[in-house]
Amino acid sequence: MAFDKMELKDVEVWDGNYAAAQALRQAQVDVVAAYPITPSTPIVEGYAKFTADGYVEGEFVMVESEHAAMSACIGAAAAGGRVATATSSQGYALMVETLYQASGMRLPIVLNVVNRALAAPLNVNGDHSDMYLGRDSGWIQLDAFSPQEAYDLNLIAFKVCEDHEIRLPCMVHQDGFMTSHTAQGVNTLSDDAAYGFVGEYKPMNDMLDFEHPVTHGVQTEEDWHFEHKARQHNDLMTKVIPKIQAAFNDFEKLSGRKYNIVERYDMDDADVCVVCMGTSVETAREVALEMRAKGIKAGVVGLRVIRPFPFFEIAEALRGVKSIAVLDRSSPNGAAGMLFNEIAGALYNADTKALLSGYIYGLGGRDLTKKHLVDLFNELQANADAGKVTTKLQQFIGVRGPKLAYL
């Protein structure tokens, strides 16, 4: 192989961005086409440097916009390469049109989305507004809560999405700054072990196979479009979660690190629980343990897989809980939060009688403090004790001014 291997310590102190860049290197990605944007820039910068320094046999393509970045990734993936890129916020928004192209063409691209707020007002910090934009785009969406997970989930993403039974692109989300620029200990895999796990890229319907010429990106009108979309939805609904679970199992055998479709923490006997995504899951876990010391049976549920939405796994995870808070880190702008709605949908026909309330928090990187979460768990316990939601269904955490509550 025409590239150098890198000696890594068992534990490296990496931020989420560098962890993701290292995973792209270890997966030996053939093409990264990118238009760098804060806070995701160091991922593609890292890949470009690894390539320039001879650690990857691949190509970094600098393009003129995020729309072009994903377009070039689509071309490279259709040609038959292992492809990845990264973006955030406004760049992700510009990419949305091409996201649907990538998934509809069944091209297994890995997109690192370093979650950031959407303007206006302009803001470079982390919230989940951009992540929510892509939820109907037909991609698989995995969510990392820490730099370690950003590293692991990138490797897992390639393995899942490139599988010939899947062939769907996959996003790996991490929180802007709170994960992407926060250095923590990351347990590494050796280059050989990581590449062995991801496996050699196996092309499918690649345009560089001159013995089997194909036309990609065809037009279908009313007579065929629906069937294609139905097929894509079917594969997302039936094939992806078992494949992710299998990859999680393999990864645990390799690394000892266990991932689940829905992460449950202290849920076995929980009366009250918080459902959330990103770094908030870990902070909430820490607070839940502290609440237990105070006699409140608190638990936390974190979404590891956002799409396909783990409908049954969520209902199972929340079985027996008395009072649930769903946290959305994106302004729903005139509705209940997306996650609130999804959870409500998953529970409606389940036999749980849990009390459900929603909270909007952390927009534009606004800190979610442990104090906030202590108050939240206490409020949930009050709901459980009263046997009804004692507040409005939708409240805001950590915003200035008079209390905001709706519904």
Partner 1 sequence: MLEIRWHSRAGQGAVTGAKGLADVISTTGKQVQAFAFYGSAKRGAAMTAYNRVDDKVIMNHEKYMEPDYVFVIDPALVFTSDVTVNHKENTKYIITTHMSTDELVKVQPKLVGKEIYTVDCITIANETIGRPIPNTPMLGAFMKISGMYDIEFFKESMKRVLGKLPQKIIDANMFAIQRAYDEVK
Partner 2 sequence: MAKKGWDEFEIGAMLRTFDGKIDDIAGTRQEDRAYSQNSSYTASVSDWRLIKPVFNKDYCIDCQFCWVYCPDVSIISRDKKLVGVDMDHCKGCGICVEVCPTNPKSLLMFPEQAEEETVIANWPKKDEEEA
List residues near partner 1 by CB under 8 A. Answer: 9, 11-13, 15, 124-125, 146, 175, 177-179, 181-185, 279-280, 282-283, 285-286, 367-371
Find the shortest distance in angstroms from Cβ 119 to partner 1.
12
The pair of three-digit structure tokens given for residue 144, joined into one six-digit string = 């990392």
CB atoms within 10 A of CB 291: 23
Q: Tell me which residues touch partner 2 (CB under 8 A).
A: 104-107, 167, 205, 210-218, 220, 226-228, 230-232, 234-235
Query: Of these partners, partner 1, partner 2, none, which one is at the site of residue 32 (CB under 5 to 8 Å by kind)?
Result: none
Q: Least Å distance between CB 322 and partner 1? A: 24
- What SS3 string covers 266-334? CCCCCCEEEEECCHHHHHHHHHHHHHHHCCCCEEEEEECEEECCCHHHHHHHCCCCCEEEEEECCCCCC
CA gyration radius for the chain?
Answer: 21
**C-beta of 231 vs 371, nearer to partner 2:** 231
C-alpha span between 360 and 394 (Å, rounded)? 7
Structural tokens at position 345: 């949908």
Rounded least distance, CB 72 to partner 2, Å? 18
> Residue 98 gets which letter from DSSP?
H
Shortest distance, CB of residue 56 to partner 1, whole angstroms?
A: 18
- Least Å from the CB of residue 217 to partner 1: 38
Comparison of 128 and 167: residue with beta carbon closer to partner 1: 128
Buried b vs exposed e over 92-116: b needs ≥16 C-beta within 10 Å? bbbbbebbebbbbbbbbbbbbbbbb
Q: Considering CB distances under 5 to 8 angstroms, the limit depending on partner class, which of partner 2, partner 1, none binds residue 212?
A: partner 2
Q: Which does 317 bind (CB under 5 to 8 A by kind): partner 2, partner 1, none?
A: none
The one of partner 2, partner 1, none whose footprint includes residue 185, by CB under 5 to 8 A per kind, is: partner 1
Q: Binds 367, which of partner 2, partner 1, none (CB < 5 to 8 A, cut-off by type)?
A: partner 1
Is the alpha carbon torsion for 23, 26, 29, 34 positive or negative? positive
